[in-house]
Every structure is written in C-alpha cells, then in structure tokens.
Amino acid sequence: MIQQMQAVNCVLNRDLNFALRQAASERDYKSVVTPRTFTGRPLVSGNGVSQAQADAATAMSDAVAELSSLELAVLETYNRLQSASEAQDWHSALLQTQAYQDFQQQRADALDTLANTAEALADANEAAGLNALFTPQDYAAYLAELQASGYDANSRTFFLGTGLSEDEIALMLQAEREAFEEALPTASVYFNTPLRDMASESRATAQALRAFFPTSQTVKAAAQEDARQQVAGYQIPFALGNPTEISRTVTLVIRPVDMPLQWQASLSQAAVKLGAGQQTEVALMLDPGDQPVLKDVDVQVAVEGYLDGELIGGVLVRQWVPGEVGYKVYLPVIQRW
C-alpha cells in the first residue's frame, strides 16, 4: 500500500513539475489558466491489499492530483495577475482576479474531497486490520535498510511496473533517504493517524478559503458590477495662450503619465497659431478603447506647449473613472475650470 502511494506521488510530481515549467514559459495574462488534468492508473488489490483499500487509495490519489493541479493554477493565475497589473491592463487584471477567486473556491471543494477520501482509506485500512504502530526504532531500521541496499527487489519490480524509469526510482529513493535523515520520527505513530490528521487539516483549510472567497453568485456578481463598468470617452477643454508679443504657432505634445494600455489620448488641435497674447480653447480627448474598465482608475496625461522647440508650459490632467477632472497647470498654458 505504501509503495503504491509512493509511486503515485512520484509520477504526479513529475507531471505537475513539467506543467509548472510549461506554464511559466507560456504565460499570457490576457487568458485564464487551464488546470492540468492527471489520471493515474488504478491501484490494485492483492498481496495483502483488499479491494476496498485499493479503491479508496485510488480515489485519494485522484483527489491529490486534482488539488495539486488547482494549486498550480492558483500560483500561475497570481503571476498573471501581477503581470497584468504591472502592464496597467485593468481589464485583464480583473479577469485574473475573478479566475483567482474561482480557483480558490475549487480548491476548497477539492480539499473537502481529499478529506473524505483520506478518511475512507483509513476506514478501509482498519477494516482490513491495518493500523500498525510504527516506533522510532522501526523508522531507524527502515532508514538503515535504505542506506545499505536501497529498495528491495519486490519494490523495484513494482515501481518499474507503474511506468517509472530507473532514474525516477533513484530520485525517489534519494528523496526518501534525505527525508528520514533530516527528521527521523521520534514518536510512535499508528499507520492511519496521518490520514485522519490530513482530513481534519484539509477541512479546516477549506473552511478558511470559503471565508475569504465566498461562493455566493450574488456576491460575485455584485463585486464584478462594482469593479467594472463601461464608460464613454472624455473630452477635457483647457485654455491655450501665446505669451509672446508677436504672432506665433504653439505646438502641443501629449505625454502619457499614468494611462492604461487600452486608453488613447488625442487633441482637437496639435498646433495652433495665436496672435500676441491671444488665447483659445483646446480639448484633450481620452478614449478608454471601448472596453469595460475598473472604477477608481486614475488616468494622468500631460499636454506640453512648445514655441520653436522650446517648452513654454503645460497642463497635467487627472481623470478619475468615474469622477471629476483635476488639473495642475504650469503657465502660460492656462487651466479652464
């Protein structure tokens, strides 16, 4: 029974570690992660393992695979959320935020499933009379056997039959040796106690996840409604003046300061000829790109004025979505409230 579960863990770690490397190399914060699926070979009865034990252990290994896949998806979604935020792509950031919450909710369900399967395996073991007490001396003797000769012939035959390579068996043996050498148990433990402890801890973690990530569709819909909305473009007028005593052409240049990627900024006039001391109105247009945007986005755009390539002043516009427009003006380009 222990050997079969070890083989499941080794194959699972191998496949999911590959998935992690693949996900990191194919990261795209505009799309949602597709959790990797893993279906192991059913564990078999015989040689002291009852059919009930084999079925319970198979169900538990499937639950472990699902939970591991979801944890990988949570990790990758968090990375994509960070990438979207760094790019100020708020639509994608919201997409990843919702996916992160959904995966956490699925993790809670998977943890409950793991708890149920762990308890079912413990029950099947006890029904078969398997609940031996392992003492520190037993662990020490097993470690000495691993150090001296590695796995016995029957274990090696079983591992090879599950599809593990010689290299993978060697890595598994090395990991098991190192684990016991680093922390050899100092207390006696019944065989099924860790399974029941795992069940209790899994249920507690699932409860905590549901407290942080409610499953109510109403709550999710309200949060999405509150966070994102469709907005039209903004037209923001300001006054432009010629501070010189002769007629001159003032050239305007847009300088995005803090603007999401999908937004666009333009001017009603990019160059204006003005008489001495003359003023006129120019409009800055902000277009969100016809995409839903997060509320409370602070868009900042500067417009600079030049005479023959020399900066003469400008205006810094801050547009809150939704909300009012704020200005910071440095003359002679003059704000208009």
Please report whether residue 175 resides in a domain.
Answer: no
Residues 119 and 254 in one domain: no
Look at residues 46, 67, 48 and name the one whose alpha carbon lies nearest to residue 191: 48
Residues 207 and 291 in one domain: no
Highest mean pLDDT among 10-14, 114-118, 303-307: 114-118
Put the strands of the sheet holding 297-307 in their side by side order: 271-274, 248-258, 297-307, 310-321, 325-330
Residues 236 and 309 in one domain: yes
pLDDT at 18 over 60: no
Burial class (CB in 10 A: 0-12, 13-18, 19+), 69: buried
What range does the domain containing 49 cover? 2-132+191-226
Q: Which residues contact 20 (CB under 8 A, 6 or more apart)?
A: 72, 75, 76
pLDDT at 119 over 90: yes
Give the model's pLDDT for residue 222. 42
Please report whether residue 40 resides in a domain.
Answer: yes
Please give the full DSSP string across 229-286, using - where no structure is assigned: E----EEEEEEEE--SSS-EEEEEEEEEEE--TT-EEEES-SEEEE-TT-EEEEEEEE
The mean of the pLDDT values for the chain is 80
Q: Tokens at residue 314, please?
A: 């400008």
Please report whether residue 169 resides in a domain.
Answer: no
Please report whether residue 159 resides in a domain.
Answer: no
Residues 238 and 219 in one domain: no
pLDDT at 87 over 70: yes
Residues 221 and 234 in one domain: no
pLDDT at 218 over 50: no
Report d(CA 137, CA 278) in Å as an integer.
96
Give the model's pLDDT for residue 325. 52
Q: Tokens at residue 266, please?
A: 């333009």
Average pLDDT for residues 16-21, to the nearest whole number?
A: 50
Please report whether residue 144 resides in a domain.
Answer: no
Residues 203 and 107 in one domain: yes
Please report whether residue 126 resides in a domain.
Answer: yes
Highest mean pLDDT among 16-30, 188-202, 253-267: 188-202
Give the model's pLDDT for residue 226. 46
Least confident of 2-11, 31-40, 81-90, 192-201: 2-11
Q: How far is CA 79 from CA 147, 259, 267, 293, in A?
A: 40, 22, 37, 21
Residues 89 and 211 in one domain: yes
Residues 126 and 235 in one domain: no
Domain count within the chain: 2
Please report whether residue 186 resides in a domain.
Answer: no
Residues 51 and 198 in one domain: yes
Residues 87 and 196 in one domain: yes
- Residue 257's φ and ψ, nearest 5 degrees, are -105, -50
Please report whether residue 151 resides in a domain.
Answer: no
Residues 6 and 116 in one domain: yes
